[in-house]
Amino acid sequence: MTAILTRRSEQVLGGASPGDDEFTYLVQGASAAPDHGRLRPWRWVLLRGDDRDALGRALADEDGADENTARQLTAKLRRAPLSAALVFSPHAGHRVPEWEQLAAASCMAHSLMLLLHARGYGSIWRTGRLARSGAACAALGLRDGERLLGSLDIGTPDPANVRARRPLEDVSEHITLFSQVAPYTGAKVPAGSHAA
């Protein structure tokens, strides 16, 4: 509960970030998140140092950007010492539907953010243009059927930026007891539900 209520998306990240071995260790823990069929329908691509410059250049070339805009794109990608791009790799045609595989990838990513926070690292989830870019997908080596979900910027948060524990919010209107639901009378299943 403490980790959940004290974690924040950290805009300013510097200092240390997990090395490759530590990142792998944390992903091993995060992969214990719910994952029907243990498919692990995801993979991470780690970018450090000049890796981000190459990705920034790919984004700039895609837009036909001038040199100044290209520098701005690269600077955005260097906001943290480590950027970890999350690639969704669904198992096509598997009995576990794709939406459930996507949920598993999302659960794993959130678990990783909590583990990073518990170790004193900060992170922020980024999507936007990067996740929609064909050039970024090509630069990151995405294969047919894969999708770039976004990237996790990781580093050490500013120690002067102390965050208060989040208060628990009232969520009672989002919880219904079955005994309060109108009895089933053979009516149609609501549109958009996943009833078999």
- Per-residue pLDDT reduced to its tens digit, 29-59: 999 999 999 999 999 999 999 998 889 889 8
DSSP 122-185: EEEEE-HHHHH-HHHHHHTTPPTT-EEEEEEEEEEE-TT-PPPPPPPPP-GGG---GGGSPPP-
Give domain 2-180's CATH superfamily. NADH Oxidase (3.40.109.10)
**150-167 residue pLDDT tens:** 999 999 998 888 888 999
Average pLDDT, the chain: 92
Which tokens hold the place of 64?
């036909």
Comparing 188 with 179, which gets the higher pLDDT? 179
- Residues above pLDDT 90, as percent of the chain: 71
pLDDT given at position 46:
98
pLDDT for 57-96, tens place per residue?
A: 898 889 888 888 888 888 888 999 999 999 999 999 999 9
Residue 195 has what pLDDT?
55
Give CA torsion, residues 128, 131, 136, 142, to 10 deg. Answer: 170
Question: How far, in Å, CA of 54 to CA of 58, rounded?
Answer: 6
Q: Where is 191: in which H helix or E strand?
A: none
How many Cβ atoms from other residues are within 10 Å of residue 100's Cβ?
18
